[in-house]
Amino acid sequence: MRPFYENLPFFTIFAAILCGVITAVIRSGRTAYLLSLWMCGAITAASGVLVYFLYTGGVSFTYTMGRFAAPFGNAIKAGPLQALMALMFAVVMGLSLLGGSRDLFHDILPQKQNLYFVMTDLLLAGLLSLNYTNDMFTGYVFIEITTIAACAMVMAKDTGSNMIATIRYLFMSLLGSGLFLIGLTLLNGITGYLLMPPLAQILRLLANSGDYHTVLVVSMGLLVVGLGIKAAMFPFHLWLPDAHGGATTASSAILSGLVLKGYIMLLITLMLRVFGMELFDAAGINALLLALGLLGMVFGSLAAMREYHVKRMLADSSVAQIGYIFMGLGLGNASGVVAACFHILVHAACKPLLFCCAGRLSAVSGHHRSLRNLRGSAYRDVTAGVGFTVGALSMIGIPLLGGFVSKLFLSEAAVGSEMMVPVLLVIALSSVLNALYYVPAILAIWVHPPAEDAAEVLADVTAEALTFDRSFFISAVSFIALIFVLGILYHPVINILSAGVRLT
Amino acid sequence: MLERILENRFAIVAVILFGVGLLNMMLRFNLLKKVIGFSIMDSAIFLLLASLGYIEGHTAPIVQEGSVNAALYINPIPSGLVLTGIVVSVSVTAFSLALIQRIYKRYGTIELDELLERAKKEED
């Protein structure tokens, strides 16, 4: 008899899909919203239990779906890393919905609100599956589900510029999944398998014998570039600022905080479980990831510096943060991957907090978005001001906050590798650049503007917007706590991640 | 040479189709043509995938009356994948067409360059 907790990954995915289906027939947006929150809570609890059992037991397991045994059929594989990521996905999803709820019910037409939650539920199902899957083709199918759900979430706020942003996002995503699919086809053509463990076995044989070397390298490149396009890796990030910056608050938070991470988790799985680090190294994929990561860290920040629209600035900053993650993966050693995973967690906590706070700050400033009009807005909602400040400081890398720890571990992973000097230099440069746009933003929200400007902005503010937003308060406080936990009590998290990377 | 081309005819056609689709998707400004390009691209992949599972002279794997002889049949897994892929591709196409329709209703054009210009004007 296998232990009961092995059912949990499947149950969480199934619960998310089921809630999505049920939500489709619920009329009221409020009920759908509550159902989504409860679902996130339940998945959080289940994933927490799973993390506990897998970490204390030091095991990972394969859960076969249906009656077909390997090498056919379909399977889920979960270890501490996957369970922790699932926990994070559910927590961040729930908190983002909480934090953006007022904007959400303001921005979306009442008769369509329940459909928005169909998308968030299916998105969570997609992310969990990308995280847990042990089968390449299942990965592809859920990539597409995640894409459609994410696009629908961008266009939920029904404005013209959002629709154009969505269509650009959609086409870039389709290109990414097309490349992924053809890479997958080539890989299936030379190995004959889709399930990851037998695939990895054959790939090891192929790598040793040198047969089909070109096909192997090409398919690896296609898979990585395909996922890279979807995860906004540096030259493929042009769709991101419009899509993430224009959407409603909760969508921006979820897209930046989670959706990009789902694809990266699949990439990490490919790297650790299917191809193996040596093969990635030999084919030059690591060098590619490292170079593009470093470029993204610099150019993302440069783009953010030119932005005056606060949410687009945050979206551009996501490109830089994703650069950190790719850089960590590109270092090609286990500590680099652990550091990258830690940065995934940190970014998943900081960026939704920043987006929720930015959304709240602009709500108390008459829905103006430019930093100029947000001057002094922190005094109108102090929680949002504090949250924005904490998130921004964490992004810059101030000690005691999560961002500092991930930069520390990324630097540590780079020490000793041959790319040590450029990596450390770019981390330093990128931190300075981060400070160059986050510090002015923090100053802007805390400095009182001249009286006539303030009066002009305040004229647009409704009294309702200024009332205390309880769900936002809960969400912001939880996010801030999460960032401090990651910044101070990082040892257990790093231990779980290292165990997870070893057991993937 | 000719023999090799004949041997790999499916792969060659698939590569050509993929290129046609990709260029259409990337270079055209018309959103509808982009969607068509995407469909061609996906079809190319399906052709490649289906040809991988095909074995000359074997038939569809429909088992009759308990006589199972694997040597008679083609590999069914790629066909199954193509089926799933088609479903995915149809839903994505439907989604993008719906989106394009809404964009047309809103702006009266589906040329991407014009759309971007107009969106910029609106923002200013």
Shortest CA distance from A72: residue in chain B: B77
Total count of domains within chain B:
1
Q: What is the span of the domain harbouring residue B119?
A: 2-57+75-123
In chain B, residues with a C-beta closer than 8 Å to the C-beta of A140 are: 85, 88
Q: What is the pLDDT of residue A143?
A: 93
User: Residue B75 — very low, low, confident or very high, per pLDDT cuts 50/70/90?
Assistant: confident
Instruction: Evaluate if residue A308 carries a pLDDT over 90.
Output: no
- Triad A319, A321, A325: Cα angle to 5°: 110
Cβ-Cβ contacts under 8 Å for B55 (sequence gap 6 or more) = B73, B74, B75
A409, A493 in Cβ contact below 8 A?
Answer: no
DSSP string, A148-183: HHHHHHHTTS--HHHHHHHHHHHHHHHHHHHHHHHH
Band of pLDDT at residue B119, cut at 50, 70 and 90? confident
Which is nearest to A148 in space by CA: A174, A178, A130? A174
The confidence band for A393, taking pLDDT boundaries of 50, 70 and 90, is very high
- A405 token code pair: 């720890």
Cβ separation of A185 and B49 shorter than 8 Å? yes
Would you list which residues of chain A are within 8 Å, Cβ to Cβ, of chain B?
72, 137, 140-141, 144, 147-148, 151-152, 155, 160-161, 163-164, 166-168, 170-171, 174-175, 178, 181-182, 185, 188-189, 194
**What is the distance in angstroms between the Cα of B121 and the nearest Cα belonging to chain A?**
10
Farthest-apart Cα atoms in chain A, separation? 75
Residues of chain A with C-beta less than 8 angstroms from the C-beta of B100: 167
Q: Which residues of B touch A178 (CB under 8 A)?
A: 22, 38, 41-42, 45
ipTM over 0.85: yes
Distance CA A143, CA B89 (A): 12
β strands within A338-470, DSSP E: none
Q: Looking at residue B32, which CATH number applies to its domain?
A: 1.10.287.3510
Residue B65 lies in a domain: no
The alpha-carbon gap from B119 to the nearest alpha carbon of chain A, in Å, equals: 5
Distance from the Cα of B122 to chain A's closest Cα (Å) equals 8
For A194, nearest residue in chain B (alpha carbons) = B77
Half-sphere CA count of A89, side-chain side, radius 13 A: 37
Label residue B116 by pLDDT band (50, 70, 90).
confident
CB pairs under 8 A between A and B: 81
pLDDT for A233-248, tens place per residue?
Answer: 888 888 888 888 888 8
Q: How many CB atoms lie within 10 A of CB B68?
A: 10
The answer to whether the CB atoms of A167 and B78 lie below 8 A apart is no
**Tens digits of residue pLDDT in A159-176:** 888 888 898 899 999 999
Taking 3-state DSSP, the helix, strand and coil percentages for chain A, each rounded to the nearest 5, stand at 80, 5, 15
Identify the contact set of chain B against chain A, taking CB-CB distances under 8 A. 18, 22, 25-26, 31, 34, 38, 41-42, 45, 48-49, 52, 77-78, 81, 84-85, 88, 91-92, 95-96, 99-100, 102-103, 106-107, 112, 115-116, 118-119, 122-123
On chain A, the residues whose CB falls within 8 A of the CB of B39 are none
User: Could you tell me where the DSSP H helices lie in A368-416?
Assistant: 382-396, 402-414
B62 part of a folded domain: no
Q: Does residue A465 surpass a pLDDT of 80?
A: no
Phi, psi of B28 (to 5 degrees): -75, 145
Asked, for residue B66, whether it belongs to a domain, the answer is no
At A338 the pLDDT is 93
A63-68: long-range pairs with CB below 8 Å, 24+: A63/A6, A63/A7, A63/A9, A63/A10, A65/A10
Whether the per-residue pLDDT at A72 is higher than 80: the answer is: no
Instruction: State pLDDT tens for residues A83-140.
Output: 999 999 999 999 999 988 888 888 888 888 888 999 999 999 999 999 999 988 899 9
CB pair distance less than 8 Å for A170 and B96: yes
Q: What sections of A25-159 are H helices per DSSP?
A: 29-57, 80-99, 101-107, 113-132, 136-154
Helices and strands (H, E) in chain A, number of each type: 23, 2
Burial class for A104, CB neighbours closer than 10 Å (0-12, 13-18, 19+): buried
Pick B92's closest partner by Cβ from A148, A163, A166. A148
Round to whole Å and give the CA distance between A207 and A184. 17
Min distance B34 CA to chain A CA atoms (Å): 8
State what percent of residues in chain A have pLDDT above 90. 49
Residue B67 has pLDDT above 80, yes or no: no
Preferred mutation among A72, A74, A170, A179 to probe B, highest tally of B CBs within 10 A: A170
pLDDT tier, A307 (very low <50, low <70, confident <90, very high otherwise): confident
Query: What stretches of A231-284 show up as alpha helix (H) in DSSP?
Result: 240-246, 249-254, 260-269, 277-282
In a domain, B70, yes or no: no
Pick from A39, A89, A35, A230: which is nearest to A151 by CA? A230
> Has residue B44 been placed in a domain?
yes
Q: CB-CB: which of B81, B92, B96 is closest to A137?
A: B81
Which chain B residues contact residue A161 at CB under 8 A? Answer: 119, 122-123
- Put simply, the answer to whether A167 touches B38 (Cβ < 8 Å) is no
User: A377 burial class (0-12, 13-18, 19+ CB within 10 angstroms)?
Assistant: buried
Q: Report if residue B67 sits inside a domain.
A: no
Sequence letter at residue A279: L
Q: Is B50 within a domain?
A: yes
CA–CA dist A37, B16 (Å, integer): 48
Test A152 with B102 for CB contact under 8 angstroms: no
